[in-house]
Amino acid sequence: MLYLWLKAFHIVSVVCWFAGLFYLPRLFVYHAQSEDAVSKERFSVMERKLYRGIMGPSMIAVLIFGGWLISLNPSAYFTQGGWMHAKLTLVALLIGYHHVCGAYVKRFARGENTRSHVFYRWFNEVPVLILLVIVILVVVRPF
């Protein structure tokens, strides 16, 4: 029963983290397009609150619940193909992406953004592709 509770909390944490990973770069798009000081300040506040208040805690929860799940039966995850290794590699890339987002939050707050809204539109697609591959790995377990 513990396994199912942990799995449920892990999935909820993943959903919350990805909501932030999808929305924050979209805020960057609008922030990069904004021209007045009031809008820029408003976007900076929204970005900071999303990053610190939702994304950070959600990422930590994902790692705690995911690690806990693995610790209950590590051989089940690591001896039946390489799908878990691939998934964890993608999670590591997502953690890096998360921290890059944090660096952009700080740059915008200091008024030092040098990227265009077009860059952020493409940047916004990275977590979508990673999520697609992770879901396929977990559900299909192709290898």
C-alpha separations of 14 from 42, 107, 137 in Å: 27, 26, 15
Q: Is 49 annotated for ligand binding?
A: no
C-alpha separations of 4 from 66, 74, 79 in Å: 12, 16, 21
Distance CA 26, CA 68 (A): 32
Asked if residues 45 and 109 have their Cβ atoms less than 8 Å apart, the reply is no
Q: Is 87 annotated for ligand binding?
A: yes
Please state the residue numbers annotated as binding site for heme. Answer: 10, 87
Please state the residue numbers annotated as binding site. Answer: 10, 87
